Amino acid sequence: MLIGLLGHELDIIAIRGDCMTLIQPLFSPRLTRVFLELLAKDDFVSVSVLADSLNTSKRTLFREISGCNHLLKPYRLELESKSGLGIKIIGDTTAKSHLLAILKDYYNSVDYYDLEQRRMLLTAELLKNKNISKLVTFAQLYDVSEATISNDLSVLDEWFKNHGLSLIRKPGYGIELEGSEDDVRRAMTDFVHNQLKENKLIDLIYLYQDDFDIEKYFEQHDNSSILSLLNQQILSNVIKVIRNSEFKYFQKMADSSLIGLIIHLTIAIERLTTQEVIQMDKVLLNQLKEDDDYIKAEVLAKSIENAFDITIPEDEIAFILMHLKGAKLRDFHLEQDSYQSIDDIKLKQLISKMIEEFENIMNVHLIDDDVLHKGLITHLRPALTRMNYKLKIRNPLLDQIKNQYPIIFEASTVAVKALETSITQPVPVDEIGYVALHFGAAIERFNQKLNENMALKIGVVCASGIGISSLLSSRIKNIFPDLQMVVPMAIEDVDDSISNQLDLLITTIPLETATIDSVYVHPLLSEMDIEAIRVAINACKKKKQDHYSKPVNQLDVDPLESLAKINLMIQKIRKQFTISPINHVLTWNQIIDKVSHLSALDVQQAKDIKYALVDREQYGSVVVEEVGVVLLHAKIENIKEPILKLYVSDQDNFINCHASTCSIIMVMVANKKSSPDTNKMLSAISVGLIEDNEFKNALLLKDQDTIRSALSLLLQKWYRNETMSRLKSI
């Protein structure tokens, strides 16, 4: 059995030797009638005569037969067209008779479409043909009464209205679809996406298969859905253009976004061939033409022009750019060849606020989840572009998320308020659904970590650590199998570092110096002792749960103490802050190597810093061109205090690296387990590169004393804000 996509339809064909039999033809009704008319005649048939016979226009007829030789090829037949004569099917007489018999038999014996399928195809017909059509035309096309078609149109009217389109119906006049070309294309795109197999699209969104076959993806869909609207020939050629393009950005796009782009291009090209041109607001058009990525859209447009022998106007190129900028990417690290936008620093601040808000609602600690931060910034970057350009994204999991995880969805809805306030527009519910997925995954990671942390480690103490304690340890393990570790200990081990790694001590000897909770038991372990151990274990679990469940802003129980620590931290960062010259001719790799060694306290730390900076740079460089600064930042383990250094080019700008527009390298390094306040302080300095005018002006002047003074003032402002915020709780 061979299953394949042939032109407009999905045919299932059985091949036995030289005999080919059509098992289930799924030609559209109109195309079936075209074939029946042509197969019944040996000569050419005028397109005008054929269009009149089918109660349709020549334009519609030409669209219907476009690419139909793909359908006829398996039957060793071909559609021939000659100017002035018309069209006819050519081939062996036996082959023609064979196909004619099959089509007649199937056409006369099977009711083509059920109610849902008929309305779907009727929607496609109306979208393809905005010109006036008669009720009788559709009635004949789908072999139903005019009253049935009229009822179908009443049902579909709301769908068209939701897409900014109107169905105009007048007695004796016919049916006409009224609306802008932009709204027609949006409706077409929605229609096609709604017909895509949801489970496959979900796989594309979340699995990001490297071996994804775009052709097979479209081939798997029944012709009566997607291909009733998409021109198969154009679709096939668009896919070829994408496949053969040297434009590397396609490899970065998530498959779901790539499918959306292909659908957009297929619809746009067919509309252009019929002179249906879209118009874009001139202000927005000029804004997009100034975008650095506009050249990407021009490269793609040029490839399409060459492949289809058409001219793509600027408005269409701008729409292509909007799709490229709004595309979801496969993974965060694939953006390594481009700078991060200056706005990325602000976006990270907004994401931190979103996470803190979510923490407060859900009573979980997620602020240190790097996977969550990276996931949200990867999604929200293109999401902001989509919202800016009013591009819709479809979330096939939305209903499932809202029904199965309503609390997470509602908490996410509240969390995005910080983003909505910043961009002064609402975040679409589909986008919130994706944000909820990221938060949901973070909660799963949190719970997993919590369960690991909740597993208790217990020490069993006796005089020697090798007698009674060993026997007791074995028995306690059997009674409480969930304990992660039960360690026999000698009395002298209690003050050792071993006990500091434990959660509870069970002892047969009274303890006076233990720094952790303990339970005194009899060596024979009575029922009362077992119950005392159970109570102590539950108390330890409760203590751990309270600690790990508290949001970050509740962990500092004493605001005055935390402010004192912040003050000390600021003094230390100011004391170690240095400004040093660096050779402007160094390459980027040489710069990283140089600043790593200059910033470190020893050789090993220099290596750690270098490796961390190189790894971090894979995600893209943070370049603040307004002040000519490249921000190099990373976290390592081998460091006690955070590092802040400034390296200034000994001439105007660096010349042998991608930071050629900059003359300053700012280096920030912190411990991987640094406190939230340390992260906040360094983040405040990063934001100062954009928002603090005094700090920015000082960097432009490159005067050391001025820079130091501006940095101190920046840190004082941040400290003042933290003081006001924390003292509110007293």
- Reported as type and span, the H/E element at residue 505 is strand 504-507
Split at pLDDT 50, 70, 90, the class of 15 is very low
Q: What is the pLDDT of residue 107?
A: 57
Whether 99 contacts 37, CB under 8 Å: no
Tokens encoding 38: 């042509």
In single-letter form, the type of residue at position 531 comes to E
Ranking 77-91, 207-221, 362-376 by mean pLDDT, the lowest is: 207-221
Angle between helices 527-549 and 468-479 (to 10 degrees): 70
Mean pLDDT score, 42-64:
81
Mean pLDDT score, 362-372:
85
Whether 657 contacts 694, CB under 8 Å: no
Give the residue among 663, 531, 639, 541 at the shortest CA–CA distance from 591. Answer: 663
Q: What is the pLDDT of residue 599?
A: 92
Whether 313 contacts 304, CB under 8 Å: no
Split at pLDDT 50, 70, 90, the class of 634 is confident
Q: What is the pLDDT of residue 224?
A: 44
Angle between helices 314-325 and 255-273 (to 10 degrees): 170
Question: pLDDT tens digits for 158-185?
Answer: 888 888 888 888 777 778 888 888 788 7
d(CA 328, CA 337): 16
Q: Which residues pair with 166 in a beta bridge?
A: 178
- Between 284 and 411, the more confident residue is 411
* pLDDT at residue 11 is higher than 90: no
d(CA 674, CA 703): 31
- Cβ-based neighbours of 552, under 8 Å, separated by 6 or more: 356, 359, 365, 367, 368, 676
Question: pLDDT tens digits for 661-719?
Answer: 789 999 999 888 778 788 888 878 887 888 888 999 999 888 999 999 999 999 999 88
Question: pLDDT tens digits for 620-630?
Answer: 677 888 888 88
Split at pLDDT 50, 70, 90, the class of 396 is low
* pLDDT at residue 549 is higher than 60: no
d(CA 645, CA 666): 6
Measured over all CA atoms, what is the biggest interatomic distance in the chain, rounded to whole angstroms? 111
* pLDDT at residue 254 is higher than 70: no
Q: What is the pLDDT of residue 209?
A: 42
Mean pLDDT score, 510-535:
83
Split at pLDDT 50, 70, 90, the class of 594 is very high
Q: What is the DSSP letter of 168?
A: E
Question: pLDDT tens digits for 505-515?
Answer: 888 888 776 67
Task: Give residue 417's Cα distance to chain centre.
Answer: 20
Q: What is the pLDDT of residue 557?
A: 46
- Between 335 and 17, the more confident residue is 335
Residue 621: Cβ within 10 Å count: 18
Q: What is the pLDDT of residue 623?
A: 80
In percent, the amount of the chain with pLDDT more than 70 equals 79
Split at pLDDT 50, 70, 90, the class of 414 is very high
- Between 41 and 412, the more confident residue is 412
* pLDDT at residue 217 is higher than 60: no
- Sorted by where each starts, the structural domains of the chain and their CATH numbers stand as 2-109 (1.10.10.10), 115-179 (1.10.10.10), 185-330 (1.10.1790.10), 343-452 (1.10.1790.10), 455-549 (3.40.50), 559-727 (3.40.930.10)
**Backbone torsions φ then ψ of 689, nearest 5 degrees:** -60, -20
Q: What is the pLDDT of residue 18?
A: 37
d(CA 264, CA 304): 13
Residue 115: Cβ within 10 Å count: 12
Residue 361: Cβ within 10 Å count: 16
Q: Coil, strand or helix: which one is 656?
A: strand
d(CA 580, CA 325): 38
Whether 622 contacts 593, CB under 8 Å: no
Mean pLDDT score, 548-556:
44
* pLDDT at residue 12 is higher than 50: no
Q: For the chain, what is the mean pLDDT?
A: 77
Q: What is the pLDDT of residue 22?
A: 38
